[in-house]
Structure 1
Amino acid sequence: MKIRIRGNSVRFRLTRSEVDELCKKGCVEEKTEFNESPFSYVVKASEEEENLYASFLDGTITLYVPNVLLLDWDTNENVGFYHNQSLNNDKELALILEKDFVCMDQTTEDQSDNYPNPKMK
């Protein structure tokens, strides 16, 4: 799983096996270790939420995804989900959850579990 944070925007990108795990088990998570404390990021299925919703507690970003969005996501062509979450300070947090495609440029990271890039056909 990759996470990209820029300003008030958080994007999660999941590999094939992570999308499969999320759809079947309802949760996928990663952790980055630091000396002071770990930073964790989690994508979790939710029965309560109607839209994507994110929280940040105890060094963990959790993205909640409505169960209905995950129905057959592991087998369909839908790339992702997008929502602007209203914040208590009258601002918005852009939330993005997408399937991770193979990069078109040269990269050294392992992309064997990524989805084929539709622009490379």
Structure 2
Amino acid sequence: MKLRIKGDSIRLRVSRSELQRLRDGQVIEETVHFPGGDLRYALGSSPQIDATTASFRDGRITLVISSAELAMWLNEQEVGIYTSIPTAPDRQLEITIEKDFACLDRSDEDNSDTFVNPHSGVAC
């Protein structure tokens, strides 16, 4: 799982095998090791929520999607889950959770466990 943070936005890219683990009820978690402590980030799903939730506690970012969102996302044509969560009266956290598509300019090894890029074979 890849993490990208910019301002009040967070984006996760999920590989094929990670999406299968989510489907099987597992939580996906990664860790970035820093000299002063670790940053952990996790993605899970729950039948007990209706919409994506986000939290940050003890150095861990946790995103949870609803089972309904996951079921829709498992469809081959669905690229991602996109939502905004209010964090203050005038501020929102933009959340993007997408399938990790193969890069068109990298070797096949770099593209292992990715989804087929919808633009592969298309001339620029």
Q: Above 0.5 in TM-score?
A: yes
Runs of 4+ in 1 over 4 A off after TM superposition: none
Give the total of aligned pairs: 121
**1:90 corresponds to which residue?**
90
1:49-98: CA deviations, max 9, x gaps? 32222111111110110111112634532111100111135300000110
Identify the structure with bigger relative contact order (alpha carbons < 8 Å, sequence gap 6+): 1
| RMSD across aligned positions (CA) | 2.0
Which sections of structure 1, spanning at least 5 residues, go unmatched? none
Residues 57/89 of structure 1: CA separation in 2 closer, same or farther (3 Å cut) = farther
**1:62 corresponds to which residue?**
62
Aligned residues of 2:54 and 2:64 also touching (Cα < 8 A): yes
Which residues of 2 match residues 1-121 of structure 1 at below 5 A?
1-71=1-71, 73-106=73-106, 110-121=110-121
Residues 4/41 of structure 1: CA separation in 2 closer, same or farther (3 Å cut) = same
Which sections of structure 2, spanning at least 5 residues, go unmatched? none
Q: Distance in 2 between matches of 1:80 and 1:98?
A: 4
Normalised TM-score (structure 1): 0.89
Q: Distance in 2 between matches of 1:24 and 1:54?
A: 21
1:10-39: CA deviations, max 9, x gaps? 000000000110111241111111121111
Q: Distance in 2 between matches of 1:108 and 1:26?
A: 27
Q: Distance in 1 between matches of 2:26 and 2:73?
A: 12
